[in-house]
Every structure is written in C-alpha cells, then in structure tokens.
Structure 1
Amino acid sequence: MGIIKKTIYTTALTGTTFLAYLGAATTVISPLPDGDPLLRSKIYSKHNQHHNASTQDVAIKRIPLDKIRPELLAKDGDLALEFCRGVWGGLGYRIQRAYLAQKYKNAETAHQLWTVEQLNSSKYEPKTIVTDHFEVVSKTANEITVRCGDTPRNPAPRDSDGLFVIGAEVDKKRGEAVLSLKSCFFNSGKKVEGIQGPMPGWIEELHRWYSRILLETGSWRTRTTWV
C-alpha cells in the first residue's frame, strides 16, 4: 500500500510540475484576433461556408535561436517542416496515434502515415493523411495546415470540422524562433445560429492543454537540447 501511495503521489507531483512548466513556457491566445490570416484565408472560407461560430486559439512558444539546430535555419521551410514532424512523431501525439491506429488502421488506410518513422520523415505535402484524422490542405515555407475533425475519407462538409495550423518563423529582431499551433473548429455541415463555437468550455480547456503538450514535445525535434 505504501508503494502504491508513493507512486500515485509522485505521479501527481510530476504531472503538476509539468503542467506548471507548460503554463510558463507556452502562451495561449483565444479567440484569434479578428485580422488573423487563417480567418481571412480561402481555406477557411472553403470549409466554413456557413460562416458558423468557431472555437479558436493559438499556442505559442519562443525559443532562442542558439538553441535551435543550426541546419534548420539555413533554408526557408526547414524549421516549419521539422517542427511538424516533431508534432506528429513526438511523444505528445503517441497516445492518440495508438488509439487511432487501433481503430482505423486497415487495408483501406494503410497508405497513410501511421508509424513514428513515417511521421518523422514525411515532407507533409498537400493531401498527405496522418492517422486517418488529419489531412494536409496547405503548405508554405512557414505553415503547414491540416483539416481535422473526421476521417479525410469523408471530404464533404460535416458536423465536426476544423483547421489546425502548424507554424514556425524566425523573429530576427528578438533572436528567437516562434513556434505555434493554431486551431479553429466549427460545424461545416449546416448553418448553426449563435456565437458559441462547437466545443463546451471544459473541452476547450482540455484542448488548449493538449495543444501546449503537442507544441512543447514537437519543439524538442527542432532543438539542440530539450531544455
């Protein structure tokens, strides 16, 4: 009993410490500013044709450039791509990846990205599908945008829809790399009245902490060291 009690206490303390670190090391802004490029993009207009209210946020992490792997700063696009690989192939996505693989990995979906090796090496070109849940719909030097909310095998409008933007850019003035995960979730299947997004408040809060975890663990792949 003493060992079990000690294990539970240690686990809780470790989790609390990690969450405290995430809160200090990352910033979350919600909702997105009115002029945010995602909200004015053709991709957003295409998928949210009813202009329904959405759940929006962006998680941001700044890292000094001397802690970023130098080779990722030599060519435009390399930092964003490597960060994207870190998000999907990293520790933060392992549980969801395993769950989706158990449910949806089969002969029909075998061509998608499932293994850590695949996720860590993909170039994430448009139409790339990650674990039957995320499909790359846009790629630029600084951002890789995926559609989420349902299987990409259902390309039609749907009740659960959204866009997830994985971004990385260099702030030369401050000498920092700026990594970000931007989310926008909405119902694209029908017109929904009101100004409230599709997520209840408590799910929004859990989602934001999950974004922080993906942001942090994804950043490890871009760094010379984890700390």
Structure 2
Amino acid sequence: MGLLRRLTFATGVLTGLGTGALGYLGTSTTIISPLQEDDPLWRSQSYAKYNPHRNPSVQDICVKRIPLSKIKPELLQREGDLAVEFCRGVWSGLGYRFQRAYLARKYHGPATASQLWTVDQLSRSTYEPGTQLTDHFEVVEKTPSEIVMRCGDSPRNAGPRDSDGLFVISAEIDRARGEAVLGLKSCFFTSGRKVEGSQGPAPAWIEVLHQWYARLWMETGSWRVTR
C-alpha cells in the first residue's frame, strides 16, 4: 500500500472529523516540515541503508508536549517505558483503527500470520527490531527514546521499493520544562532507483493530508500514556 493510496484512504477518516476536532488537533500538536538539517535521522543507519541514493523525500515531524504531571507515573520510572507505551497507543488506538481494519481485510492471511494485527497484539508488543505489523510496518531500530519503522510497502518486500520510507515514534523527557515530548517523524522516498531533482514522491496536497493524519495518530496515541 503506497504513500498515495494510504494517504488517500486517510481522507475519509479526516473528513469524518468535525471542524472543532480538527481545530483541537491543530492547536495541541506542532508540525515541523521539512526536518532540520541536523536532524539525527539523516545520520542514522536506517536512512543510509534504505535510501542509498539519497533521493528527495517528503519529511516532517509531529510534536506534542505534555506536562509530566499528566503522564502515568509508572511510565517515568524506567527508561524506555514511555516510548514503548506511546508506540502501543499509536497502533492500537482509535486513530489507526480504520486503516488497520482495511489492511486486515486485504492482507491478513497465512502469509502474514506472524505479524501483529489485533488491538490486543498491538497493545502488548514491546516492538523489538524485526517486529512486523499490519503488512505495512517493520521495526528496524529501537532505542530507549525511539522506535524506528520502515514503511511504504509490505515488509515482505525487503528490497528496494518505489514507495519506501521511515517512521519514527519517539518519547523523551524535558526535565527543564517538566514535560514529556512525543514525536511522530516521517520520511518518505523512492529507494528502487536514483531520482533526479528535489521533489519528494508526493504532491503538496498529499503532504498536508499526511500531516493532519499524523496529528490524529499523535492525539489518540497520547491517550495511552496520560492519566
């Protein structure tokens, strides 16, 4: 399921939200696009591996800051727990429900039986490298603050792809401001061939749609870590 098809599907989800809900998503989250030149993603092993041609990309990060007083205290006791729980919230949450159901109808079968599909599976996984979910995401890196996933096509297609990308789910503690900083970082590109020019693999309206969909995932995913 390529970027264009996946985000066109998201149109239906976002259209179903009222103006008030979209307004709240816009004020409670922040979108930064493009990513900064010194973003750690550009120096990561995953980016070097999956975008060997350094092709142009669609890139952004959705950020939400939450006071530590609103975070479940048990998630602040051990390093890494907040990021894993936020990741669980993104995939088992309401924002991903309709896309998950759509992918399950098309791709859940014997060939993908080892992947994560149900809400229970998605809400319990620790998302170790190699974990695959809904035939569209695969964990390729994990640190205490970040879980990096390859996306854009089925993880069964391990080689170069016309539709490829990295999706980074992160959670860090800003002690100075007393806040948890949640992030959903996206970088979509073509990895199967060298692409000339500077235009990423999607028109501007798709980029805007993707950013609103990321806001929705952020909000519903954050419910999992707040009290």
**TM superposition score category, shorter chain reference:** over 0.9
Is 1:190 aligned to residue 173 of structure 2?
no
The superposition leaves residues 83-142 of structure 1 with CA deviations (integer Å, 9 ceiling, x where unpaired) of 000000000000100000000000110111000000000000000001000000000000
2: CA distance, partners of 1:162 / 1:180 = 16
What TM-score comes out, normalization by structure 1 length?
0.92
1:158-197 correspondence runs (5 A): 158-197=161-200
The superposition leaves residues 126-161 of structure 1 with CA deviations (integer Å, 9 ceiling, x where unpaired) of 000010000000000000000000000000000000
Matched with 2:31 is 28
Aligned partner of 1:69: which letter? K
Q: 1:51 aligns with which of 15, 33, 54?
A: 54
1: CA distance, partners of 2:201 / 2:16 = 33
Is 1:221 aligned to residue 224 of structure 2?
yes
The superposition leaves residues 157-201 of structure 1 with CA deviations (integer Å, 9 ceiling, x where unpaired) of 000000000000000000000000000000000000001110111
Matched with 1:71 is 74
TM superposition shift of 1:69: 0.1
The superposition leaves residues 12-53 of structure 1 with CA deviations (integer Å, 9 ceiling, x where unpaired) of 896100000000000000000001000111110110001100
> What SS class does the counterpart of residue 38 from structure 1 fall into?
helix
Give 1 or 2 for the bigger CA radius of gyration: 1
Q: 1:80 aligns with which of 83, 106, 109?
A: 83
Cα 1:85–1:161 change in 2 (3 A) is: same
The 4+ residue runs of structure 1 with deviation greater than 6 A are none
Cα 1:198–1:14 change in 2 (3 A) is: closer
Is 1:133 aligned to residue 133 of structure 2?
no
Gaps of 5+ in 1: 1-11
Is 1:118 aligned to residue 113 of structure 2?
no
Q: 2:22 aligns with which of 14, 19, 24?
A: 19
Matched with 1:60 is 63
Cα 1:161–1:70 change in 2 (3 A) is: same
2: CA distance, partners of 1:93 / 1:22 = 15
2: CA distance, partners of 1:50 / 1:179 = 30
Cα 1:20–1:136 change in 2 (3 A) is: same
Cα 1:132–1:14 change in 2 (3 A) is: closer
Matched with 1:145 is 148
Q: How many residues align?
A: 213
2: CA distance, partners of 1:124 / 1:91 = 19
Is 1:201 aligned to residue 204 of structure 2?
yes
Q: Superposition RMSD on alpha carbons, in Å? A: 1.0
1: CA distance, partners of 2:105 / 2:26 = 32
Is 1:154 aligned to residue 154 of structure 2?
no
Cα 1:198–1:105 change in 2 (3 A) is: same
Aligned partner of 1:111: which letter? S
Q: Identify the range of structure 1 (92-101 vs 13-22) with the bigger mean alpha-carbon deviation.
A: 13-22
1: CA distance, partners of 2:172 / 2:187 = 20
